[in-house]
Structure 1
Amino acid sequence: MGYTAVEQKIVKEIAATLDNIVVKDVNRLVSEIEKAERVFFVGVGRVLLSLEGIAKRLAHLGVQTVVVGQITEPAITKKDLLIVGSGSGESSFPLAIAKKAKSFEAAVAHIGSNANSSMKEYTDLFVRIPVQTKLALPGEIPSVQPMTSLFEQCLLLLGDSIALMMVEEKAIDMPSLWQYHANLE
């Protein structure tokens, strides 16, 4: 199968998935991001890579972002938000960090595929990316891609959608955002 056929399959899966994310949950997440003093992010593997991209983009919008584990990570407080990326909601490290964040009274948002995961105990907000899981939950978008590629792709695009929502809501002048871009490159 050639590039064009594969690319079209992937784009179709992404569009179907993004179209099935609950808008009110995304709006609530945007509200939580905007009211937080700082926004922390935690995930593992390729999910972490997507979250790092989201953290960077929100930083370009003036949001104070922190990726859990970075050397300059400050203490989390009740004024902060932790965003957990975990499709299954069962990954050990994100679960432990969510539990710890709750012990400091921080708000916790989970972006994942399984609303009834162990993460549910620690979260204030859940945004479902309805991709195919091994649980075969209702409303899952099937994927021809390996592993959890569709989740990671949609997570990054959800983050970019949130960033653009914030830009439009605040009528931010796009060229002014370059002041936040890395300049030691």
Structure 2
Amino acid sequence: MDYNQAQKEIVEELSNTLNQIDGDSADELLAEIKKADKVFFVGVGRVLLSLQGVAKRLAHLGIKTYVVGQITEPAITENDLLIVGSGSGESAFPLTIAQKAKKYNARIAHIGANPDCSMKEYSDVFVRIPVSTKLQLPNEIPSVQPMTSLFEQSLLLLGDTLALMLIREQDIDMPSLWEYHANLE
């Protein structure tokens, strides 16, 4: 297989997946982000890397974002939102963090593939990315890519979609966003 064929398959998978994310649940997540004082993110592995990208982009839009475990992480409160990325909804660390955040009455948004999971007990909002997970459940979009790459990529693109929605809703001047970009590089 050559590069052109491989990238074409990946782009088609991503397009198919993003088209199957429920717009109402994405709108609900965006509403939660806008009303939160601070937005926290938790995930593991490559999911965490995607969430870090989403956190950074939302920070560029003036939203106070924190990744759980970062050295400057403040306390979570009832005015905050925790966004959990977990395809299966069964990953131990995100589950523990969601349970703890609930004790502080924070809102919880779960972005995952499995609606009937342990994370459901803690989630106020669920955005389903309907792709194959390690659980191999029915009604999941299969992928030619290894493991859960399609979930991780879709998670990042969902975050960028939410950012674009915010930019357009708030009529943000794109060049002005550079003032929030890192400048010690």
Q: What TM-score bracket applies, with the shorter chain setting the length?
A: over 0.9
Q: CA deviation at 1:167?
A: 0.1
Q: Compared with structure 1, are the counterparts of its residues 174 and 88 closer, same or farther at alpha carbon in structure 2 (3 Å cutoff)?
A: same
Q: Distance in 2 between matches of 1:134 and 1:44?
A: 14
Q: Distance in 2 between matches of 1:29 and 1:125?
A: 7
Alignment coverage as a number of residue pairs: 185
Q: Distance in 1 between matches of 2:73 and 2:84?
A: 16
Q: Is the 8 A contact 2:134 2:147 kept in 1?
A: no
Q: Is the 8 A contact 2:61 2:180 kept in 1?
A: yes
**1:11 maps to amino acid:** V
Q: Distance in 2 between matches of 1:138 and 1:22?
A: 18
Q: Deviations over 1:52-78 (max 9, x none)?
A: 000000000000000000001000000
Q: Distance in 2 between matches of 1:135 and 1:50?
A: 20
Unaligned runs of 5+ in 1: none
Q: Distance in 1 between matches of 2:60 and 2:156?
A: 15
SS in 1 for 2:69: coil
Q: Is the 8 A contact 2:134 2:148 kept in 1?
A: no
2:106 equivalent in structure 1:
106
Instruction: Compute the TM-score of the two structures, normalised by the length of structure 1.
Output: 0.98
2:46 equivalent in structure 1:
46
Q: CA deviation at 1:140?
A: 1.4
SS in 2 for 1:127: strand
Q: Distance in 1 between matches of 2:135 and 2:66?
A: 32
Asked if 1:176 is matched to 2:167, the reply is no
1:133 equivalent in structure 2:
133
1:146 equivalent in structure 2:
146
Alignment map for 1:49-88 (pairs within 5 Å): 49-88=49-88
Instruction: Compute the TM-score of the two structures, normalised by the length of structure 2.
Output: 0.98
Runs of 4 or more above 2 Å deviation:
133-139
**1:53 maps to amino acid:** G
